[in-house]
Amino acid sequence: MDSAIGPAESPSVLIKLPNLFQSFLSAEPVIRSDYEQCRRESCGWFAERRQCDEKASQKFEGILFTWFAAAYISDTDYDRFRIVSDWSTLACYIDDMFDNGPLTNDSVRAQAFVVSSIRTEGMRDIH
């Protein structure tokens, strides 16, 4: 250990592990009080990003991606909760498109979908 860094200055990260020897929902989960707010914001973000029509947006809002995030990170700050909710929403949606959706056997459309999903402002080509 570098003598210039004392115990109070050493970087550390607190990791809270759940009980790994029980089912995720074996106990009644504590759901965050800001769950509904985050669900609306995450679904709105995703619907806008994917340019969903009103019917698709409403169907999408009925899926519980944000609920799972609210259950497994019930004690983090809102910004982190929102990030996990957004990423969980995106990952589950993409996973479903490949598992049993239109991209299951279409590699050309699959590549185009992935590129359009992760493209950010100013990013021209990810190849």
Phi and psi of 110, rounded to 5°?
-60, -45
Residue 18 lies in a domain: no
pLDDT of residue 7: 56
Residue 42 lies in a domain: yes
Give the chain's domain count. 1
pLDDT of residue 97: 80
Q: Where are the alpha helices (DSSP H) in 1-77?
A: 35-49, 54-61, 65-72
pLDDT of residue 126: 40
Residue 75 lies in a domain: yes
pLDDT of residue 117: 67
* Predicted model pTM: 0.63
Residue 17 lies in a domain: no
Residue 53 lies in a domain: yes
Residue 30 lies in a domain: no
Residue 85 half-sphere exposure toward CB, CA atoms < 13 A: 30
**pLDDT under 50 in the chain at which residues?**
1, 121-127
- Separation CA 116–CA 50 (nearest Å): 9
**Domain enclosing residue 76, as ranges:** 35-116
